[in-house]
Amino acid sequence: MEEEYSVDPAQLLAAATDFANHPGAHSDASAQEFLNRYPLPAIINALQTKADYPGLENVLVDSLERIFETKYGASLIPHYMPFVIVGLGADSQRVRYLACKTVSCLLENIDDSTAVPLIHEYGVFPLLLNCLIDGDEKVATASMDAIKNLAGSPKGLVIVFPANISEATHLGTLAGKCSSLGRVRVLALIVKLFSISSSVASIVYNSKLLGLLEREVSDANDTLVTLAVLELLYELAEVQHSTEFLSRTMLLQLLSSIISNASAESILRSRAMMITGRLLSKENAFRFIDESSFRAVVSAIDRRFDFLEGQDADECECALEALGQIGLSNQGAVVLLSGSPLVARHVINAAFDRQQHNKQLAALHALANIAGETRPQNDMILTGDAEETLRRLIYEMASRTSKLTPSGLLLSILQLDWELRLAGYRLITALVARPWCLMEIISRQEIINIVTDTYTETKKIGMEARHKCCQAVYSAFTSSGKLISDPALAEITAKLQEAIRRGPYLARNNTEAQPVVMTAERF
């Protein structure tokens, strides 16, 4: 066999280097042409022996990875499963990485009715778990991806989630036998599986695997492990169906405890706040979390904010960002603007406090969220009591400053650096939907001049925010029949219309070609 498929390692190295470094994806034809010159058994044989050619293993791994990513290459994998098994248990991390990637290619390109039985027949799943636990970072990531692909089919789910919890491959059992690093990797796999779909998340929940996350969060003896688990929870909270399942666990209460724990590391409290912000930001949060529990989490952040005033700037910014996340939904914004304590007061006070740039920036974006900048037009306005509280807090804040009025506060923001102006545009875009704020805006010609000036911003994101703000002011203005018909405001109407027509990107009044007159060159 070795003689039949032996090749000159120097020639193979040169050809494989060219193949691996070819720009762009390979076609089936190019993969087939390469394998016609160097049959797959010959490449595998060279990979196992490696001879005395430095770099040969890396080049062959790269070449095989690119071959198996083609349809033609993937079609060969079922015939070489014994080599995949050897690769999954190899000493070389590069080879183990290739074997994990090959399993993914098999599952992505071959029909489940063929691929999954092969996985079962050759005992691939336990070997993937070994790679997850014992491999280097690249191997662990490739193994995780392969297992996620396996769980993407009904037959694969049976392999990934065995009914018997005493099975060695049961993720709960496996986590209990691992080192701290291996345990975190198993938890990372659980999060990745949870994100596949709501039905898979249900299996994860019913398998009591979310309890592993609860235990790690509640046992805060190892700060690094706790922080790693909180990062996984932050990723988990991004999943659309996360609130439905996490609300059935003790995780929200545990996160609140971390936020309230003055002896905990600041970074742990910050991450806990960000996670709760993400979880409570979803529109369906109130379907699964009762209002008292919702308010308890918000109150924990509020109490921490009271303590933080003038202290840890980073943690303070995280608290503001978390409150801004909670305020993304209409109901979340109402909670922040009602009840006791009145949490939104922190956001409004910080939004117009010019002592700390980043704190003010976080607060302005949070206030824009609460006011509804990201919500649909028909969901922007809050309940009557919440709206009155929003108006009162902003007017009270203005009265305590030299600006005296909300329009003065907003103008001062638009006169700062571009990041704060961007946040100011977002805030005006939301607030101008309120009649009281519309009157404030049109009473200050300087604000109209800034939001209609095409040359105010030089960055794309700033141009777009300014233009969106201009559109929002015009929309609110034209919706008010009494104002739009006022002849004294005709100039404002014209300026807004012209600014909208010109668009966000440095549009000029005269776009036609202009003649250039210059003297002739003389020698």
Q: How much of the chain is in helix, strand and coil states, percent to nearest 5?
A: 70, 0, 30
CA distances from 451 to 250, 432, 447, 494, 495 (A): 47, 13, 6, 13, 10
The size of the chain, in residues, is 523
Question: Per-domain residue ranges for the chain?
Answer: 1-160
Q: What region does 394 belong to: left with phi over 0, alpha with psi -120 to 50, or beta?
A: alpha
Tokens at residue 156, please?
């694969």
Write down the residue that tokens 């030089």 correspond to.
458
Give the pLDDT score at 55.
80
pLDDT at 210: 93
377 by Cβ neighbours in 10 Å (0-12 / 13-18 / 19+) ranks as exposed
pLDDT value of residue 523 = 41
Residue 2's pLDDT is what? 41
Confidence at residue 121, expressed as pLDDT on a 0 to 100 scale: 94
Burial readout 143-167 (b: 16 or more C-beta within 10 A, e: otherwise):
bbbbbbbbbbbeebbebbbbeeeee
Evaluate the omega torsion of the peptide bond into residue 41 and state whether it is cis, within 30 degrees of 0: no
User: What's the pLDDT at 340?
Assistant: 76
DSSP output for 225-277 = HHHHHHHHHHHHHTSTTHHHHHTTSSHHHHHHHHHH-TTS-HHHHHHHHHHHH
Longest dimension (CA), the chain: 95
Q: What integer pLDDT is reported at residue 507 of this predicted model? A: 62
Residues 183 and 168: their CA atoms lie apart, in Å, by: 14
CA dihedral for 356, 361, 364, 365, sign (positive or negative): negative
Q: How far apart are CA 523 and CA 508, in angstroms?
A: 38
Closest C-alpha to 38, from 77, 11, 3, 68: 11
As a dihedral over the C-alpha atoms of residue 490, residue 496, residue 498, residue 504, rounded to 10 degrees, the angle is: 170
Residues 6+ apart with CB under 8 A from 13: 53, 55, 56, 59
Q: Which fold has domain 1-160?
A: Leucine-rich Repeat Variant (1.25.10)
Three-state DSSP string of 135-158: CCHHHHHHHHHHHHHHCCCHHHHH
CB 74, CB 31: distance < 8 Å: no
Mean pLDDT of each 10-residue bin along the chain, 523 residues long: 62 86 85 90 81 79 92 93 93 93 94 92 95 95 96 92 87 90 94 94 93 87 87 92 90 91 88 93 87 88 74 84 93 90 88 87 96 92 94 93 89 93 95 92 90 88 92 86 67 85 70 54 49
Q: What is the DSSP letter of 519?
A: P
Q: Are the C-beta atoms of residues 171 and 203 closer than 8 Å to each other?
A: no
Distance CA 41, CA 56 (A): 16
pLDDT on residue 511: 47
Rounded to a whole number of angstroms, the CA Rg of the chain reads 30
- Of the candidates 435, 452, 291, 433, the one whose C-alpha atom is nearest the C-alpha of residue 376 is 433
CA-to-CA dists, residue 462 to 227, 321, 409, 415, angstroms: 34, 20, 19, 14
Pull the structure tokens for residue 24. Answer: 């762009």
